[in-house]
Structure formats: structure tokens, C-alpha cells
Amino acid sequence: MALKVTQGLLSTSYYPSSLPLLSPTFRKQLTQSWSKLVRAHRINKFCDRPLTIRNNNISTVTSTLLLPSSSSTSSSSSYYSTPLSTKSTAVSTNSCPLDQLDDQQFRSMFDTWDTQIPSNDSNNNNINESSMTGQCPFSGSKGFQSIRSHENINISINRDNYLNKNSDDSISKSVKSFDELPTPKSYPIVGTTLTLMAFGGAAHLHEYCDSRHKELGPIYREKLGPTDCVFIADSSMVQKVYSNEGRFPNHLVPEAWTIYNEMTGIKRGLFFMDGPEWEKRRKGLNKIFLCQPVISDYAEAFNQVVTDVITKWSDLVNQNEQNIQSNQPRSGLLTQLEQELYNWSIESLGTMIFGRRLGCVETSSELKYKTHKMENVHLFVQCVQQLFVESAKMTLLPARLAQRFNLPVWQRFMAAAGQALNLARAYVAENVAATRDNPENGSRGVLEMLLAQPRIDQDELIRIIIDLFLAAADTTSHATQWALYLLSKNPEYQQKILEQVESVVGKNGTVKTEHLKHFTLVKGVIKETLRLYPVAPFISRKLDRDIELGGYNIPANSLIGISLYTTGRDEKYWPDAKSFKPERWVRDESNRKIINSHASLPFGFGIRSCVGRRVAEIQMQFLLSRIIQKFYLEPGNADDIGIKLRMITTPESPIHLRLIDRSTV
């Protein structure tokens, strides 16, 4: 059966007339004419809920991902043709007839071709078979399986026409225009800046936007400083943005960072890449950081770093003079939690990348030999923190203006950026050289895998690794900091975690990699923490096509800001939304349908989601389970700690923890 889409219309050999795309009549006739078994998987960017078409029904399954099994050359440069193979497998009974799908579901059927198969143009008529049958770009999930041909159905699709990418008819005439979007009241020249400043400025942008959503609804438009943005706080809109982000998702890079790179001539890593360059490097990193077998090779190294953290924190407790003069349980006040977690995060990542310990986490007996190295790590942390602080300040003040007049905020930003990059470059270059010169002194690290990739030189390698450290150290450490804070405020969950850990490893047993999968409540704590305190309270996207969101036409290349802080605390998605309830993430038959997967996206979404997600999750699972196993946590602050944005979600004041040794309780 041949299917062909031309000018947004579809026709088959079974009926000669072209029918309007996505119309009920179209669906009905397509269903009637689809006499052969067809399966087409929609690749979800998280690789966990592909959609399957079987016997004209759509179901969710996780057993396979299906791609065309062989390549062919299209007769026209604007079409791609390939046999679509099918294979029998068990599917869910929770299905929907093809002719009853909504527009978004129906379009998603063809995401596989758009996501995985190179677009055809005059210079690319021959499709590389390896691009369709190679390893899954989300390696570590289900992967692409070998497909045994059972039924072949030739399908020719011009996807741009199918989605009416450049057509004036792609947006319904009933949809309101971009200019009709709800907007807050503003004033000449200053706009809404004064209102934002009343909330505390850019440091409290999350609260400001949350109040705007409460006032204007789930979608509104506002110009903040030089940035004109459409903010959305609705899971269905988020899902629609995700489904239309295309092959090369585009996001907002802070203007100050872009200017700095232009001025200094410094090329940066993955975060600053777009298009084919980004895709090439991202695929290489996916095979490492999203591949479960690869991550598992380093899990015990992560665990050893946690052992050193616990030893160091135990020294703090044991050296507390108050414990000597009292019969009370031994305890100590940890006042440098942020720095401690930075050291842990950098050490863990370094162990994975270089295959050797960096010396960032040392016990008191070893510390005197590492003073210079620790001073550099501490200075690096301070520079990164300052870099984010000054970047946030230039959210409202155009960075180009600050740079042109060399304002103090720009001077501080330049100094912090320069020092952070120089420290990181020297540190990374030193370890790259050590790995190359003495490979026998360490295990095989990610660095060796990156060096094995084609056409990558040392300068590019250093840039990629620097950005990994800049991103991972700050984000993982702050996410863990919030988790420990919430656990200290909710002791009942400490007890539940302890009981779950002991049920798996026994009392005072050793936590190992194979145990983590049983710590469902620890995983729930991580997800619940990131729901309430998302590392990035906003995710940005610029789509390459017009899109309808909430009844409004959003033109291509408009900046869309997804308000994760708002959706994560919305009672519509989360009963008792402001309460810390990790059990809401522990799936069972009673609450299986509670979680809305697009209402909390702490690691982003789609093919541009956080590449270090799985690494961060394993690191946090080890640390949280073992810290609770060793210590009872109490808040060290008299008052609750609020959020202050430094581009990411950070505590408004330092978090202190009181550590109580469980063995003395």
C-alpha cells in the first residue's frame, strides 16, 4: 500500500481523492484502507514510552524501538521512501483506534522518521543505512533491535508538507494571533522591570513568573529587559513543544556568555553548540553518559568517593569537643555543606572522566598534603558561583550594554569567567596529560573513550570536559544540598529510607551498586526534591516552525520559557503540591496514574535533555542512602531557607546540617 503526502494532503492507491490532513474523514478512510499490519514507533526522547501502531490501534509499549530496516534511494530529492518492517510482539490493551487519535498523537506517528532519518535534500539523496540501524542514541535504554521482515509497506513521506511546516494553513484560522497573548501591565521605557525589582529582581524571577501565571494563566508573553519570551506552565503545552523541537533543538544561551566567547575567541563545549556540530558531539556523549553498562563500570568508584565523604564528616563529628564533655549522642554542625558537596561532585565526575582520583575529597589526615590542590578547587567553586551571580544580574540589563560601557557587573563577570576557565583548563590539561602519559596508573576513563572518537583534537576535548565540570559540579551539588535539607526537615522519611536500606543490605551492611535498584524511596526523594527545587527553574526552546499553544499562534523562532517551578508546584498536577512527599513517585497500582511526566522535567526533555542525568542520579542515590545509613540529620538553621536564583536554583543563605552519629544514638 503506497502512502504519499503532497502539499499537506495524503492519498493512497486505495482511494484516488486527496483528503484534508488530520481531518476525521482522513482518519476514517486511512483506517479502512490500512489492510496490512503496520507498526510505527514514536521514539520518546526519554526512550521509555514509545507509541506503537498495531492493527490500526495505538498502544504504549517498552519492548522494542522500530526503525525502517533498510535504506533506499528516493526518486525525488524531496521524498524519503523505505520499506517499513513489522514484527509481532505483545502490546498493551490500553489502545486507541487510529481514527480517534488527537492531532498531537497522530503527528507523533511520524516523529521516528524526522528524528532518526536524515532529511533529504539535493545533496543527500542516498540514505546511510548505518544511520537507521546503528546503536540507539539513547544507548542504555531499549536500543534498536534487529527486525526480521514480516510485512513490507512502502511509505513515501514529505514530512515538512505533512506537518505543513511552511504553510499558512498550519495554524487554524480560529487560533488567536501572537499579539493577542496575555501580557502584564507595563510602563513606558521601564516596562515591567519595576514590578520584577519589587520581587527581588532576577534572583527571584521564579516567584515573579509564578505570580504572573496565577494572574494571566498558563501562557503569557512578557519582555524582561532585552528578552521577549512566551512563558508556559501547562503540561500539555510542554509536551507539544517537546514534540515539535525537531532534530536540532535550539535553546537560549545567556547573552553575556556569548559576548564573552566572541570577545576572547574562546570556543566552548556542548552547551554552546547547535545544529550538526551539536548533534555529532552529543551522540558521542550519549553513548557514554546515557549508557547504563558504561555508567555501571564507574558506580563503585562513585561509591568509594561517598565512603571518603562519610569518613570526613565522621571526623567532623568525632572532633567536636562538646561530644567529649557530654553523654549525648555524638554530633557535629556541618556549616560548609555547599563546598563539601562541590568537592564530592567534582571528585566523582573526575573519577569517571579521568579514571583516577583527583584528591578533592580528603580526610583530615590526608588534607595537609593536598592544600594547594584544595585551594584551587575552592577558588574554582567561588569563580563559578560568581559567574552565575553576575549572569543572572544581566538578565534585566542588556549584557551588550554592560559590555559596551564596561559596567562593574560586566567587569566582575569577565574576571570570574576568565579565572574559572583558566583554572579548569589547567586542571583538565594536567589530567589529560597524566592519562596519556601514564595510562597504567588509572582505570579506563571517559577521556580515553572521547579520545577514540574520530576527528576530535585536544583543544575541543578540553572544551567539552570543562563545560561538563562547570555544569555538573554546580547542578548535582545543589540538587543534593536541597535533598539533604528536605530530609533534615522531614525526619520521618529518614527513618523510612533507613528501613528500606536495611531491608536490602541488613543493619550496618555495605551498600553496593546492585542494591540501588531496590531503593525506591531514595529515588522518590530525588524526584520530589527536583520537583520542588528544580535545578533550572526554566527551560527555553526556540522552535523552527510555527506552533499553536493554548489557542495562540507562536511564530517560529520565538523564545518559549517553560516554567518548571510553577508546574512543579501546581495543585492541578500535584495534590498537596507544597508538601514534601517522596512516596508520590513510588509507583504501585494505587497511584500509577498520578504522575504527569511533563509537569516535572528537572533534567530537561527531548534529545537536548541533560546528558549527565543518569550519572547524577546514581551519585545522588549512593550519597543519600549511605548518609542516612550513617547519620541522623537535623536542620542547622533556625529559619527556613528560601530560593535565590544564580541562573540555577540555589539556597538564599548557606544550609547548615547537624550530623548525629546513629551508632551513638
- Residue 245 covered by a domain: no
Domain boundary, last residue among 155, 170, 185: 170
Q: What is the mean pLDDT of residues 19-45?
A: 39
Q: How high is the pLDDT of residue 589?
A: 53
Spatial separation of the C-alpha atoms in residues 464 and 15, rounded to whole Å: 53
Q: How confident is the model at residue 456 (pLDDT cuts 50, 70, 90)?
A: confident
- Residues 509 and 402 occupy one common structural domain: yes
What the block records as the C-alpha cell of 595 is 504522575
Instruction: Please answer whether residues 69 and 143 qualify as being in contact, where contact means their C-beta atoms are separated by less than 8 angstroms.
Output: no
Q: Cβ atoms within 10 A of the Cβ of 404, count?
A: 11
Q: How high is the pLDDT of residue 637?
A: 95
Would the pLDDT of 84 be above 70? Answer: no
H helix intervals, 168-270: 193-198, 205-216, 235-243, 255-264
Q: What is the mean pLDDT of residues 6-21?
A: 32
- Residue 199 covered by a domain: no
Q: How confident is the model at residue 32 (pLDDT cuts 50, 70, 90)?
A: very low
Lowest-pLDDT range, 409-423, 485-499, 625-639? 409-423
Lowest-pLDDT range, 64-78, 306-320, 409-423, 548-562? 64-78
Closest CA to 526 of 453, 604, 585: 585
- Percent share of the chain, pLDDT over 90: 41
Highest mean pLDDT among 155-159, 296-300, 627-631: 627-631
The pLDDT tens digits for 325-384 are 667 888 999 999 999 999 999 999 989 988 888 888 876 555 554 566 677 777 887 888
Q: How confident is the model at residue 591 (pLDDT cuts 50, 70, 90)?
A: low
- Residue 176 covered by a domain: no
Phi-psi region of 473 (alpha: psi -120 to 50; beta: other; left: phi over 0): alpha
The helix or strand, by DSSP H or E, that contains position 3, with its residue range, turns out to be: strand 3-6
Would the pLDDT of 469 be above 60? Answer: yes
Would the pLDDT of 132 be above 50? Answer: no
Q: How confident is the model at residue 594 (pLDDT cuts 50, 70, 90)?
A: low
Q: How high is the pLDDT of residue 80?
A: 26
> Which regions of 479-630 does DSSP assign to beta strands (E)?
538-542, 547-549, 552-554, 559-563
Q: How high is the pLDDT of residue 472?
A: 80
- Residues 149 and 272 occupy one common structural domain: no
Q: How confident is the model at residue 448 (pLDDT cuts 50, 70, 90)?
A: confident
Q: How high is the pLDDT of residue 99?
A: 43
Please indicate whether residue 604 or residue 395 has the higher confidence score (pLDDT): 604
Contacts (Cβ under 8 Å, ≥6 apart) of 421: 266, 466
- Residues 270 and 166 occupy one common structural domain: no
Lowest-pLDDT range, 160-169, 444-453, 486-495? 160-169
Contacts (Cβ under 8 Å, ≥6 apart) of 313: 332, 334, 340, 627, 630, 631, 659
Host domain of residue 568? 264-664
Would the pLDDT of 526 be above 90? Answer: yes
- Residue 213 covered by a domain: no
Q: How high is the pLDDT of residue 362?
A: 75
- Residues 129 and 17 occupy one common structural domain: yes
Would the pLDDT of 657 be above 50? Answer: yes
Spatial separation of the C-alpha atoms in residues 451 and 432, rounded to whole Å: 10
- Residues 161 and 275 occupy one common structural domain: no
What the block records as the C-alpha cell of 281 is 558531539
Would the pLDDT of 44 be above 90? Answer: no
Phi/psi of residue 52, each to 5°? -125, 135
Spatial separation of the C-alpha atoms in residues 573 and 206, rounded to whole Å: 18
Q: How high is the pLDDT of residue 54?
A: 38
Would the pLDDT of 255 be above 70? Answer: yes
Amino acid (1-letter code) at residue 631: F
- Percent share of the chain, pLDDT over 70: 69
The helix or strand, by DSSP H or E, that contains position 11, with its residue range, turns out to be: strand 9-12
Instruction: Please answer whether residues 38 and 192 qualify as being in contact, where contact means their C-beta atoms are separated by less than 8 angstroms.
Output: no
Spatial separation of the C-alpha atoms in residues 329 and 316, rounded to whole Å: 14
Domain boundary, last residue among 147, 170, 193: 170
Q: How many domains does the chain divide into?
A: 2
Lowest-pLDDT range, 100-114, 281-295, 537-551, 589-603? 100-114
DSSP 227: E
Q: How high is the pLDDT of residue 513?
A: 95
Q: How high is the pLDDT of residue 363?
A: 63
Measure CA 501 to chain center. Answer: 28
- Residue 181 covered by a domain: no
What the block records as the C-alpha cell of 663 is 551508632
Please indicate whether residue 85 or residue 268 has the higher confidence score (pLDDT): 268
- Residue 190 covered by a domain: no
The helix or strand, by DSSP H or E, that contains position 84, with its residue range, turns out to be: strand 80-84
Amino acid (1-letter code) at residue 345: S
**What is the per-residue burial (b if ≥16 Cβ within 10 Å, else e) of 66-93?**
bbbbebeebeeeebbbbbbbbbeeebee
Half-sphere exposure at residue 316, Cβ-oriented, CA atoms within 13 angstroms: 21
The three-point CA angle 431-435-440 to 5° equals 140
Please indicate whether residue 594 or residue 500 has the higher confidence score (pLDDT): 500
Closest CA to 269 of 642, 611, 636: 611
Grid-cell match 566523582, residue found: 348
Q: Cβ atoms within 10 A of the Cβ of 293, count?
A: 8
Would the pLDDT of 593 be above 70? Answer: no
Q: How many residues are listed for the chain in this entry? A: 665
Measure CA 85 to chain center. Answer: 32
- Residue 335 covered by a domain: yes
Contacts (Cβ under 8 Å, ≥6 apart) of 609: 45, 46, 601, 603
Would the pLDDT of 576 be above 90? Answer: yes
- Residue 234 covered by a domain: no
Would the pLDDT of 174 be above 90? Answer: no
- Residues 166 and 296 occupy one common structural domain: no
Q: What is the mean pLDDT of residues 263-284?
A: 81
Mean pLDDT of the chain: 75
Q: How confident is the model at residue 389 (pLDDT cuts 50, 70, 90)?
A: confident
Spatial separation of the C-alpha atoms in residues 640 and 442, rounded to whole Å: 44
Write down the pTM of the prediction.
0.73
Q: Which residues pair with 81 in a beta bridge?
A: 156
CA distances from 307 to 311, 512, 524, 630 (A): 6, 11, 23, 11
Q: How high is the pLDDT of residue 470?
A: 77
Q: What is the CATH number of the domain that holds 303?
A: 1.10.630.10
- Residues 279 and 146 occupy one common structural domain: no
Domain boundary, last residue among 107, 141, 170: 170
Q: How high is the pLDDT of residue 181?
A: 98
| DSSP labels, 15-41 | EEEEEETT-HHHHHHHHHH--S-----
How many Å from the N-terminal Cα to the C-terminal Cα in the chain? 73
Q: Cβ atoms within 10 A of the Cβ of 289, count?
A: 23
Would the pLDDT of 79 be above 50? Answer: no
What's the farthest any 2 CA atoms get from each other in the chain? 93
Q: Cβ atoms within 10 A of the Cβ of 262, count?
A: 10
- Residues 442 and 549 occupy one common structural domain: yes
For residue 610, say whether it is annotated as part of any ligand binding site.
Answer: yes
Q: How confident is the model at residue 204 (pLDDT cuts 50, 70, 90)?
A: very high
